Amino acid sequence: MLKLSNHEIETLGQLSNLEHVNRLDLSGNKLKSSLETLTGLTYLNLSSNELSGKGIRGILSLEQLVFLNLGNNRIGMLPDFAFAKMIHLKCLLLNGNKLESFAFASLLTELNTLVLSNNNIESIPEDAFKNLTSLRKLSLGHNKLREFPPVFQLPSLKELNLNGNKISSIPDAISQLSHLTLLDIGSNLIENVESLAILSSLPFLSKLNVAQNTFYGEGYQEQVWLWERSEKNLANAILMRSIPT
């Protein structure tokens, strides 16, 4: 691994000649454009730079990438098929950018981790995840989603973070996520506590956050009681919230 993080690097200079480098950390610099000549890279960390959507075009030719971190940049838009050539990509981090939409169609079956938290995404197409049969971790926390994303056909999904959105209900289709172990739907607009009942159908769910929602109804305390005493024993569940009296 070649580590060049936090060196206030603004241009790539001679880095373009490092043909034999396959793991590169350039996080915490001042880069405004990315590299395209290091085609042998498998690991690339460009988090906390000054990259925009145009500035990352060079990355699209890096077909050997397995890990790509573009978090905390200034990316507001991506081409429709931005990552379509990255057939080996397993982990993609784009948290802390300015994305209002995302090129889901460009993602391929090898991807197992996708982090899009802290962006401005308002909606997700119904077929967005159709290719992601290996996806195990999805983070869409702190966006502007009003509806539960269409994740129900993700057979391998284990962790789902939707914290800090504007989601108001939990669809029954969540029962299809049979391998889910972690669900964070805290800090949303979910009101009906009875909608939590469907979560009992998830056989491996062991970590649940529903804090900071505005639950109502007499069933709230009963629902908490059921979760605390369920066979799943959700020791890590965070269910408590100030309830209007």
Please give the average per-residue pLDDT across 100-113, as a whole number. 89
CATH number of 1-100: 3.80.10.10
Helix (H/G/I), strand (E/B), else coil: 127:
coil
Is the separation of the CB atoms in 74 and 96 below 8 Å?
A: no
State the number of CA atoms in the 13 A half-sphere of 206 facing the CB.
4
The pair of structure tokens assigned to 25 is 């950390």
CATH 3.80.10.10 domain span(s) along the chain:
1-100, 122-245
Largest CA distance in the chain: 67
pLDDT at 72 over 70: yes
Higher pLDDT, 69 or 200: 69
Tell me the C-alpha distance between 181 and 220, whole Å: 23
Taking alpha carbons only, the member of 40, 33, 43, 3 closest to residue 18 is: 40
CATH class of 122-245: alpha beta
pLDDT at 241 over 70: no
Mean pLDDT of the chain, nearest integer: 86
pLDDT at 243 over 50: no
Calculate the CA 228 to chain-centre distance. Answer: 28
Tell me the C-alpha distance between 45 and 28, whole Å: 9
Q: What is the pLDDT of residues 113-145, one digit of tens each?
A: 999 999 999 999 999 998 899 999 999 999 999
Query: Per 3-state DSSP, what percentage of the chain is helix, strand, and coil (rounded to 5)?
Result: 15, 15, 70
Q: Which residue, chain included where needed, has tokens 């480098």? A: 21
Q: What is the pLDDT of residues 199-213, one digit of tens each?
A: 888 999 988 888 888
Tell me the C-alpha distance between 143 and 86, whole Å: 26
What stretches of the chain show up as alpha helix (H) in DSSP?
219-228
Q: Which residue, chain included where needed, has tokens 């200034």? A: 74
Taking alpha carbons only, the member of 166, 161, 60, 156 closest to residue 111 is: 156
Is the separation of the CB atoms in 109 and 135 below 8 Å?
A: no
The pair of structure tokens assigned to 192 is 């009906």
Phi, psi (5° rounding) for residue 201?
A: -85, -5
Burial 26-63 (b: 16+ CB within 10 A, else e): bbbbebebbbeebeebbbbbbbbbebbbebbebbbebe
Q: Which residue, chain included where needed, has tokens 């959507």? A: 53
The pair of structure tokens assigned to 206 is 């062991």
pLDDT at 226 over 70: no
Cβ burial of 7 (10 Å; 0-12, 13-18, 19+) is exposed
pLDDT at 68 over 60: yes
Please give the average per-residue pLDDT across 27-55, as a whole number. 89
Higher pLDDT, 78 or 244: 78
Query: pLDDT-based confidence at 223, cuts 50/70/90?
Result: low
